[in-house]
Amino acid sequence: MPLVVQKYGGTSVGDADRIRNVARRVVATLEAGNQVAVVVSAMSGETNQLVALAREVGGEAPSAREYDVLVSTGEQKTIALLSMAIHQLGHEARSFTGAQMGMLTDGDHSRARIQSIDTEALRRVLERGEVAVIAGFQGTDEEGNITTLGRGGSDTSAMAVACALEADVCEIYTDVDGVFTTDPNVVAGAHKLERVSYEEMLELASLGAKVLQIRSVKFAMHYGIPIHVRSSFHDGEGTWVVREEDVMERLVVSGVTYNRNEAKVRVLGVKDSPGVAATLFGPLSASGIVVDMIVQNLSQDGTTDMTFTVPRDQYAQALALMEEKAPAVGALRVEGDQDIAKVSVVGLGMKDHAGVAARMFEVLAAEGINIQLITTSEIKISVVIEEKYAELAVRALHSAFVEQGAAEPQAET
């Protein structure tokens, strides 16, 4: 009998009606002849309320251990309510907290990593034809302390459960129809992808597509569990995330993403000698600043310019740190710019299809958009441009690669 793991986010279980709706969907899957394990988040708004309470009572840095004890109550509420709703539809269901399902993690509170899952109790319930209703986001460490996986951790929980149970599919229910070629709010021609590879999904997620947590995609990729990202509001197919060899049509470009939440820092006239990068990036890392792109150019006079991007809310801190460290690397000065956007094209087909970068630069040039930085990977090209051109760039690239370009790879490969 096929085993389906379903994950419902906070919006899908946001109130009593929606919980009943999820119960109906779970029961339909069960009645279609599947074993069903369901992983749920806290009801939307709940976690924010709990976090606000923690701040109010525990100050800016409440105890990490107690913070996890507090916020884990959110998912515990949902599992009890969803189990009740399933009972109301005449089926058996049994809830599992992180501790009860043997979700063992390390002791790194609020961002714990899953170490193992004891699937025995889950399997017993599933084999009796009951629904296992599992609290996402939480586990316990070896000493029995409650831990949480960090925000969005319910995706990771679902994927870990799917892998441990060797599920046939992990369905991620969300408030969109699937993974889109780009943001439909920006480009009218954006359309849902039927299939993407894990690798493409990783690039799309990390670039801001926000449908799936990166960690959960890595899990599924490692164990080869197919993911089905679909809408919790209707029964239509969503997007399947599968192994590269299972993606039938290898699109040159499967998606165009953008991120306007970064800022750029440039350190000019740095001595070109060993250890310079470490001197600059060591302190950034120590301060918890997440550096995204890094570009270094050698100039003619033997000095170099070091440019990188950081999340906009860490920009001021990064700039101050660089100004402090600049003298140590002989830098002339430090510049920064917040009015930037990063635009990327992602596609498996790039691997064996030259000319994508050149085409991308042409398209942007035709719109009069200047490129400030460029980075590339095997299946992605990203550029930094002036922020005000973000939508224009996305529309132009989507039009060139996705709307017109869909037929091209077949012609050229």
**Residue at 202: amino acid letter:** L
Q: Which is nearer to its own copies, 18 or 215 (CB)?
A: 18
User: Does an H or E element contain 93, and which?
Assistant: strand 93-96
| Minimum CB distance to its own copies smaller for 62 or for 152 | 62
Nearer of residues 95 and 239 to its own copies, judged by Cβ = 95
CB of 32 to its own copies, least distance (A): 23
Minimum gap (Å) between residue 346 Cβ and its own copies: 41
Residues that bind its own copies (CB under 8 A): 16, 19-20, 50, 53-54, 56-59, 62-63, 65-67, 69-70, 72-73, 76-77, 79-81, 83-85, 87-88, 94-95, 97, 99-100, 144, 146
Distance between CA atoms of 254 and 181, rounded to whole angstroms? 6
Taking phi over 0 as left and psi of -120 to 50 as alpha, with beta for the rest, 391 belongs to alpha
| Rg of the chain taking only CA atoms, in angstroms | 24
Enumerate residues 6+ apart whose C-beta is below 8 A from 20: 85, 88
125-157 in b/e form (b: 16+ CB < 10 A) is: bbeeebbbbbbbbbbbbeeebbbbbbebbbbbb
The token duo for 249 is 């049509």
Can you list the positions of beta strands (E) in 114-226?
114-117, 131-135, 138-140, 146-148, 169-174, 195-197
Considering the complex, what minimum distance in angstroms separates the CB of residue 131 from its own copies?
12
Nearer to its own copies by Cβ, of 80 and 291: the residue is: 80
* Minimal distance, residue 157 CB to its own copies, in Å: 17
Q: Which is nearer to its own copies, 87 or 333 (CB)?
A: 87
- Give the separation between CA 267 and CA 343, rounded to whole angstroms: 23
The least distance separating its own copies from the CB of residue 368, rounded to whole angstroms, comes to 55
Output the smallest distance, CB 139 to its own copies, in A.
14
Min. distance of Cβ 99 from its own copies in angstroms? 7
User: Pairing mode, if any, of strands 3-8 and 169-174?
Assistant: parallel
Q: Which is nearer to its own copies, 232 or 304 (CB)?
A: 232
Nearer to its own copies, 109 or 395 (CB): 109
